[in-house]
Every structure is written in C-alpha cells, then in structure tokens.
Amino acid sequence: MGGRRSEEGGTIGCTAPNRYLAVMKFKKILAWGGGVIVIAGIGIQFIPVDRTNPPITATIEAPPEVMTILRRACFDCHSNETVWPWYSYVAPVSWLVASDVDEGREELNFSQWDAYSPDRCAHKIKECGEEVAEGEMPLWFYLPTHPEAQLTQTDVKTIVDWSKN
Ligand code: HEC
C-alpha cells in the first residue's frame, strides 16, 4: 500500500515535466516538419521545366492595331515569343506557367501560323473573337501579374471586328 502511494505521488510529481516534454516533442515535430518542407521546397527546384521558345516559322499577319493587342495580351501563351517571368523559374509556380504556355501553344500558336490550313486559320481567328468577347481570354489569373494585358472595350471590339472578316 505504502509503496503504491509513493508511486502515485511520483506520478503526480511528474505531471509538470510531462507537459514540458510534450511541448518539447511538439516543437521538435514542428522543426522536423519545417525542415522537411524547406528541403522539399529546394528539391523540387531541380525538377526540369521546359521554358523553351521554339523557332518562329510564320507569324500571324493582322492589321497593326490587332497585332498590338495580340502581342500585348496573348503572345505569352500563344506564341513562341514567350517572355518568361522570374516566377516561372520558381517551382511549383513554374509548373503552372509552363503548363499554361504549353497548352496555350497547343491550342493556338501565332508563331507557327503556317502549320494551319487557311480554313483552320480562319477558324482560329473566329475563336479568338469569341473567347475575347466572352472575357475568357486572356486567362483571368494572368492579369494580376500582367495588367497591360487587360483588354479595354475598344480592344475587345477591335479583335471581334477583325475576327468577323
Ligand atoms: C496565361 C496564358 C494565356 C493567355 C495570356 C491567353 N491564353 Fe488563350 N488559351 C490559354 C490556354 C491554356 C488555352 C487552352 C485551354 C483553354 O481553352 O482554357 C487557351 C485557349 C485559347 C483558344 C482556344 C479556345 C478553344 O476552345 O479552342 C483561343 C482562341 C485563345 N486561347 C485565344 C486567346 C487570345 C485571343 C488571347 C489574348 C487576348 C489569349 N488567348 C490569351 C492560355 C492563354
């Protein structure tokens, strides 16, 4: 009996250090977790990202006022003249940028205009008018970092009028 009591006493006596140990353990877990995140963050920077600008075979021809808008608001994703911003060099954002450019070029590439038949070119131009009129292009998340790509109503009208010719 006596021994038991002293055991219990010992347990009670240990409560404060136990809590201290628990806090220390938690801090240790946080430190490890933070370390793992930092190392993973550095590690993913070594995964290769394709940021090439392939050769331009034929640039789309359009009236100068149209070309100005296309170059300003569309060429980063729909041409081989992409200006790769600094954050396109930092994973994981780089993956998103590269995949948008990749997909954008896949759908429509103003730098390889000779790769499409005349009919296809006409169809692509018609789609440009539709996308811009609906406010679908340029992609909304591109605008905060490229405010110059924001289209005014005049810009939209210029593109839409051109797409109907
Ligand atoms: C931030 C990159 C980006 C910008 C800037 C951008 N696009 Fe796109 N565009 C894409 C991507 C990605 C797709 C394919 C996926 C989709 O349709 O959302 C696409 C698809 C398209 C399509 C094909 C749509 C279809 O359904 O076939 C057209 C047409 C188009 N864009 C026109 C434009 C025009 C015109 C501009 C400039 C006013 C522009 N885009 C700016 C990324 C972009």
DSSP code per residue over 120-163: HHHHHHHHHHHHHHTT-SS-GGGTTT-GGGPPPHHHHHHHHHHH
CA dist 36 and 42 (Å) reads: 10
Beta bridge partners of 58: 112
Region of 152 on the Ramachandran plot (φ > 0 left; ψ -120 to 50 alpha; else beta): beta
Per-residue pLDDT of 126-165, as tens digits, reads 999 999 999 999 999 999 999 999 999 999 999 999 999 8
Q: Among residues 115, 103, 107, which one has the least CA distance to residue 59?
A: 115
Q: Is 130 in the pocket of ligand 1 (CB under 6 A)?
A: no
Tally Cβ neighbours within 10 Å of residue 46.
7
Q: Among residues 78, 85, 89, 79, which one has the least CA distance to residue 48?
A: 89
Q: For atom 36 of ligand 1, which residue has the closest CA?
A: 74
Give me the residues of the chain with pLDDT under 70, please: 1-15
Contact 109, 80 (CB under 8 A): yes
Q: Is 76 in the pocket of ligand 1 (CB under 6 A)?
A: yes
Contact 100, 77 (CB under 8 A): yes
Stated pTM of the model = 0.86
Q: Is 139 in the pocket of ligand 1 (CB under 6 A)?
A: yes
Q: Is 142 in the pocket of ligand 1 (CB under 6 A)?
A: yes
| Cα 158 to averaged position of ligand 1 atoms, centre (Å) | 17
Q: Is 104 in the pocket of ligand 1 (CB under 6 A)?
A: yes
| Through-space distance between the first and last CA atoms of the chain, rounded to whole angstroms | 101
pLDDT at 6: 46
| Cα 99 to averaged position of ligand 1 atoms, centre (Å) | 12
